[in-house]
Amino acid sequence: MKVKMKIQAIALDPVSNSPVMILKEEEGERVLPIWIGLLEATAIATKLENIQFSRPMTHDLMINILDHLGIKIPRIEVCDLKDNTYYALITLNIDGREVQIDARPSDAVAIAIRTGAEIWVHEEVLQKSKALEEEAKKESSTPEGVHTDQDKDRLKELLEKLDPSAISKYKM
């Protein structure tokens, strides 16, 4: 089973200072946080903020090439989680034939938000992510600045409710 998601926000993990892409279930409350690189976070955040550049960035260039060739992107899927690494597929529609291309979830989402492609996450990935989060809670010590379960819950709630308009600008 697959769950339709949308990009809720790009945020900074307060513990690691790493960017986190937060996908949220369209017709539900579940979220999927995926830690991503700064360049990928910038690519997503600039599109969410409608920041235009005088020259095409890499994801925009790829879209321009695919458009020129008449190739459409109907959907992307976050399809697996193995060894703390998320996997995604970009589905291309080439003259009515569908082809799936392996991708990092951050690149797939950067392309999806530029093309209007649907974002799907396999149910198994959501379950593995939740299990991983629960395991990490058991194994880790209290993160700096988070001292109680109530603090952790407030931090999680804050991340889940983040709005893309609340994102600080990333410098290029």
- Spatial contact of 78 and 87, defined as CB atoms under 8 Å apart: yes
The model carries a pTM of: 0.77
Q: pLDDT of 44-99, one tens digit each?
A: 999 999 898 999 999 999 999 999 999 999 999 999 999 999 999 999 999 999 99
The 3-state secondary structure of the chain, one letter per residue: CEEEEEEEEEEECCCCCCEEEEEEECCCCCEEEEECCHHHHHHHHHHHCCCCCCCCCHHHHHHHHHHHCCCEEEEEEEEEEECCEEEEEEEEEECCEEEEEEECHHHHHHHHHHHCCEEEEEHHHHHHHHHHHHHHHHHCCCCCCCCCHHHHHHHHHHHHCCCHHHCCCCCC
pLDDT at residue number 128: 93
CATH of domain 2-166: 3.10.690.10
What are the residue boundaries of the structural domains of the chain, listed by start?
2-166
Write phi, then psi, for 4 (nearest 5 degrees). -75, 130
Q: pLDDT of 143-161, one tens digit each?
A: 555 556 666 666 666 666 6
